[in-house]
Structure 1
Amino acid sequence: MKVGLSACSDGHVKEWVYQIDELVQVMKNLGIEPVLALHISAKVDAFSGTDEERAADLMRLYADESIEAIYDISGGDLANGVLKYLDFDVIAGSNKVFWGYSDLTTVINAIYAITGKSSVLYQVKNMVYSQADLQKKRFADYLEGNTASLFDFKYEFLQGSHMEGIVVGGNIRCLTKLAGTKYWPDMSGKILLLESFGGGSGQIATLLTQLEQIGVFDKVTGVLLGTFTNYEKEDYELSVYDLLKMHISDTLPVACTEEIGHGHDSKAIVIGEKLIL
């Protein structure tokens, strides 16, 4: 099995480069042959290459018929810069699935909005982080056809008791960068997944306000809250759910899970596929 490793967002700083080598070795141990994009390490500030160069990297991986899947191993701020350079006709005609997380929320939701194709919200570098053994076992199970190990997650309802729809969303800060663009997914009848690495009370509150003001909470059939990593480390009086309740009706179903987000133990979820909770 051959896969592509892309970096559409910020380039890897020199302190992180060793993680690429570790990930390549982990993949080889799993019987995977990784093909690395040309632009992964940071060269000028946060940039590994120009927006056009990073997009060209991704399209080369899509064009290579020997590659079965594409895993983006970056994160940060720059991923939405590649969108105008992507060939969505090629992406739509490909049988490859794109994987990424955090800032790649922009690419994942753009792919769904333009092509209707699903992608996976997951950071494959989890296999070299602090929960590496757990994640390698899950990924090995996935490769052997046991998808439950990586994709099934525990959840509980905070409001309501049922929701179903195609999942959109991901990182709340990165998702809102798509608002007002052609890459914004139609929210009608969708389950909106929201999670975050950074952001305090005011920052998360203002992003939820924006989502309310552009009508998102009037269109979706439910909200699934993942983890809000830094928020949950602080001693805030209001929870993320408390903030969300300021912007939604008391009839909109809301569920939460501790297994989707930026945690090193996080599981994967498919964006652009129907989910029933």
Structure 2
Amino acid sequence: MEVGLAACSNGHNKEWTPQVDELVQVLNDMGVQTALAEHIVATKDEFSGTDEERASDLMSFYKDDSIDAIYDISGGDLANGVLKYLDFDIIANSNKTFWGYSDLTTVINAIYTMTGKSSVLYQVKNMVYSEAEFQQERFRNYLAGTTEELFNLQYKFLQGTQMKGVVVGGNIRCFTKLAGTKYWPDLKGKILLLEAYGGGSGQIATLFNQLEQIGVFEQLAGVLLGTFTSYEKENLEYSVYDLLKMHISDTLPVAMTKEIGHGHDSKAIVIGKEMEFIAK
């Protein structure tokens, strides 16, 4: 198996290079060969290359028959810049799965909207972060054909008892960048996953306001809340669910999981796949 390591969002700081080297070694030890995109390390401000160059890196992996999957190892703000340069016909006809998280929410949902193909919301660099040993074991088992440890989620319902639909969304700030564009998914009957790294009550509340004002919550089959990293570290009176309740009906199912988000212990979830959640 060979994978491409891409970076469609912000370029890596030069001091992060050892992390990439370590990830390559970890994957190689699992029997996964790696090909690195040309533009990974930042060279000008936060850019590792122009939007077109980073998109070209990604498309080169889609065109390369030796590449079996694509893992994006970046995050930040710049990923939506590559969208206009992507060849979605090539992506649609490819058997490769794209993996990424955070700002790659834009690419993942655009791929689903434009091609119907699913992607995986997950940061493979979790395998070299603080929960490295745990994450490596999960990933090794996934490669061996056992998906439960990486993908099966523990969750609980906050409102309602079940929901079923195709999962879309991801990072709330990055997902809302797609609003009003051709890359915005059809949300009718969908389960919307929302998580965040940064943001206090004001920042999260304003994003919920935007989603309500463009009619999102009226269309959904349910909402799945992941972790809101910075928010949960602050001593705030409102919970994220408290804020969400200001914008939804009392009949819309809402579940939460501590296993999807920016935590180094986070699991993976497939965006663009139908899932069913039932209260236990």
- Please state if 1:217 is matched with 2:217: yes
Letter in 2 for 1:23: L
Shift of 1:16: 1.3
Which letter maps to 2:246? M
Runs of at least 4 residues off by over 2 Å: none
Distance in 2 between residues matched to 1:272 and 1:62, nearest whole Å: 19
Tell me the equivalent position of 2:80.
80
Deviation at 1:15, TM superposition (A): 2.1
1:85-127 deviation line (CA, Å, top 9, x unaligned): 0000000000000000000000000000000000000000000
Q: What corresponds to 1:113 in structure 2? A: 113
Which residue type is aligned with residue 164 of structure 2? E
What is the CA–CA distance in structure 2 between the aligned matches of 1:111 and 1:14, rounded to whole Å?
29
Q: Secondary structure at the match of 2:22?
A: helix
Q: Superposed, which structure 2 residues align to 1:48-63 within 5 Å?
A: 48-63=48-63
Residue equivalent to 2:99: 99
Cα separation, 1, equivalents of 2:14 and 2:245: 42
Could you tell me how far apart the structure 2 residues matched to 1:168 and 1:125 are? 22
Counterpart amino acid of 2:204? I
Match of 1:141 in 2: 141
Deviation digits for residues 49-102 of structure 1 (CA, Å, limit 9, x no counterpart): 000000000000000001100000000000000000000000000000000000
Secondary structure, counterpart of 1:67 in structure 2? coil
- Aligned-partner Cα distance in 2 for 1:19–1:275: 33
> Counterpart of 1:130?
130
Q: What amino acid does structure 2 have at the position aligned with 1:245?
A: K
| Map 1:1-277 → 2, pairs under 5 A | 1-277=1-277
Deviation at 1:17, TM superposition (A): 1.5
SS at match of 1:180: coil
CA distance in 2, matches of 1:222, 1:153: 16
Shift of 1:208: 0.4
- The one-letter amino acid paired with 2:142 is Y
Structure 1 unaligned runs (5+)? none
Instruction: Please state how far the C-alpha of 1:135 moved relative to its aligned partner.
Output: 0.3
What runs of 5+ residues in structure 2 fail to find an aligned partner?
none
Given the two structures, how large is their TM-score scaled by the length of structure 1?
Answer: 1.00
Corresponding residue SS for 1:251:
coil
The separation in 2 between residues aligned to 1:190 and 1:216, in whole angstroms, is 10
> What letter is aligned with 1:47?
F
> In terms of mean alpha carbon deviation, does 110-119 or 14-23 score higher?
14-23
What is the rounded CA distance, in whole Å, between the counterparts of 2:24 and 2:119 in structure 1?
22
RMSD: 0.3
Residue identity (%): 74
How far off its partner does 1:179 sit? Answer: 0.2
SS at match of 2:120: strand
CA distance in 2, matches of 1:170, 1:121: 7
